A and B are shown apart, each in its own frame.
Chain A
């Protein structure tokens, strides 16, 4: 009997679900969404690249760029913790979905937290070396 009363109560309740993407995801400020670089502070020490558990970060000292393969990143916050100059920050929003592996390139000639989007060929996890 209790399920029947519960069902009737549910009929007159506001829906528990939200109308995502129209309503926006209900993410807390502490959510680990994706990492962003402020390249004016980067000293290219490669600590983020070495500590990344999924080999998602590629540091290029000559070209002065930091490249992140979004599909490989697990947002574990390790790079943010090891960075000696607080270059890397974690934002709560996730990166947009894509049909091909996406690579975000942060370079010194771009403003802070801005990046260039590049695509890898389908099925490839890392850029050609």
Chain B
């Protein structure tokens, strides 16, 4: 029999946190083709962002809740590039610290999510318990758990004082053994390894063809990290990108797990760099001109393009989010997989539909 069956997964599915639809073409239990449908969550953010450049620094955070700080950092960097101002050193280091904190929370959410999809509720709970430590720390640093609202055009709103520096050090030294424990579970636990190893392979050539970015690309052997360009204070710290060659769900998970530990290193490296100085630079007048900026969000390269016309309104805001390029690659990973592995493969990409649809 060579008849195929079409099975839709999503837009509402227990495994997905957000609405996306994958139309699967099945032959018995095997997937032979997959089509991705997106756009269930479109909010017209790019238009709304161009209405008022000052108020947009709060709206950009609402593009996505998990990488909100990276969005606002990228937007502020772009507008600062249009103004042609250099942000104070201290503000750049504080931005780096908050961005790395958010990378840990985002990666732990992704790790917890894949553990849940695999059917490992216990591991999911553990991931979220460690995540809570960072969430509380960020609440103390910036004043909010999710939407930090700390980046403004010209710097950051809140300074980190000596007591807060010690607090960050304490939390990081408390977090490291906990993350190492999670690392041991993810790398050795047979339940998890059996469900992820060799599943959803994306070869290096396919990764380049589908233009994937971030941990997905690095898990397929493409050593690509925007942090090496040295935005914020990344030129002052020792970066060691995590690259694996396997390209399967296991490799993608382990890249995220290793990056959490690297982020702890980066935050600890940033703290002694904090020197006395101001954290915000005031800018005068409305911006005029074009600007482009890239940051490494937890899911990969995030790009902002802004065209300003010397008014409160902006002519154009273009966002290229990492999930927008990563999610379609699921069509390359699914053929050949079993139906039961489809949620695991999709979730291993860490799909963020808020970012994708905007």
Taking Cβ atoms with an 8 Å cutoff, the residues of A that contact B are: 1-3, 6-7, 10, 16, 26-28, 30-32, 51, 53-54, 74-78, 81
Question: What string of 1s and 0s marks CB contacts (under 8 Å) between B138-150 and chain A?
Answer: 0111011001010
A17 CB → nearest B CB, Å: 9
Identify which of A2, A26, A54 contacts B189 (C-beta below 8 A): A2
Q: Is the CB of B189 within 8 A of A31?
A: no
CB contacts (< 8 Å) of B141 on chain A: these are: 30
B184, A74: Cβ atoms under 8 Å? no
Stretch at the interface among B81-89, B121-129, B316-324: B121-129
- Interface pairs (8), CB distance under 8 Å: A3-B122, A30-B143, A31-B143, A54-B58, A74-B149, A76-B149, A77-B143, A81-B157
What residue in chain B is nearest A30 (Cβ atoms)?
B143
Among all A-B residue pairs, the 7 with the closest Cβ atoms: A53-B55, A32-B143, A28-B140, A53-B58, A76-B149, A2-B184, A3-B185
A6 and B147 in contact, given A16-B132, A31-B139, A77-B157 (Cβ under 8 angstroms):
no
The total of chain B residues at the interface (CB under 8 A) is 25
- In the complex, whether B295 has a CB less than 8 A from a CB of chain A is no
Q: Mark B301-341, 1 if CB is under 8 A from A, else 0.
A: 00000000000000000000000000000000000000000
The complex places the Cα of A32 from the Cα of B58 at a distance, in Å, of 14
Q: Would you call B174 an interface residue if the criterion is a C-beta within 8 Å of the partner chain's C-beta atoms?
A: no
Measured CB to CB, the closest approach of chain B to A113, in angstroms, equals: 19
Instruction: Kindly list chain A residues whose C-beta atoms are within 8 Å of the C-beta of B122.
Output: 3, 7
Contacting residues, chain A, for B158 (C-beta < 8 A): 30
Decide if A31 touches B188 in the complex (CB within 8 Å). Answer: no
CB contact list, B34-72 vs A, under 8 A? 52, 54-55, 58-59
**Restricting to B153-198, which residues have a CB under 8 Å from any CB of A?**
157-158, 181, 184-185, 188-189
Interface pair B181/A2, CB less than 8 Å apart: yes
Majority-rule SS of B interface residues: helix
B13 contacts chain A at the CB level, 8 A cutoff: no
Interface check B136, CB cutoff 8 A: yes
Contacts of A51 in B (CB 8 A): 54-55
Give B8 Cβ to nearest chain A Cβ, in Å. 33
A26 to B140 alpha-carbon distance, docked (Å): 11
Bound-state CA distance A37–B52 (Å) is 26
Q: Contact: A76 with B58, CB < 8 Å?
A: yes
Q: Report which of B129, B144, B185, B188 forms a contact with A32, defined as CB distance below 8 A.
A: B144
Q: B147 contacts which chain A residues (CB < 8 A)?
A: 74, 76
Distance between Cα atoms of A112 and B52 in the complex (Å): 33
- Which residue of chain B lies nearest to A32 when distances are taken between CB atoms in the complex? B143
Give the distance in Å from the alpha carbon of A5 to the alpha carbon of B332 in the complex.
Answer: 38
Interface centre among B123, B129, B144, B188 (most CB of A within 10 A): B144
* A10–B121 CA distance with the chains assembled, in angstroms: 14
Are A31 and B144 touching (Cβ within 8 A)? yes
Distance in angstroms between the alpha carbons of A75 and B126 in the assembled complex: 30
Q: Which residues of A contact B58 (CB under 8 A)?
A: 53-54, 74, 76, 78
Which interface residue of B132, B140, B143 has the most chain A CB atoms within 10 A? B143
CB neighbours of A1 from chain B (8 A): 188
Query: B143 touching A3 by the CB < 8 A rule?
Result: no
Chain B, Cβ-Cβ closest to A78: B58
- A54 CB → nearest B CB, Å: 8
Q: How far is the CA of A7 from the CA of B123 in the complex (A)?
A: 9
Report whether A2 and B185 are in contact in the complex, using a CB–CB cutoff of 8 Å: yes
Are A53 and B123 within 8 A (Cβ)?
Answer: no
User: For A3, A16, A28, A54, which residue has the most chain B Cβ atoms within 10 angstroms?
Assistant: A3
Q: Which residues of A contact B129 (CB under 8 A)?
A: 16
Alpha-carbon gap, A81 to B52, bound state (A): 18
In the bound complex, CA of A27 to CA of B132 (Å): 13
Chain A hits for B136, CB < 8 A: 26, 28
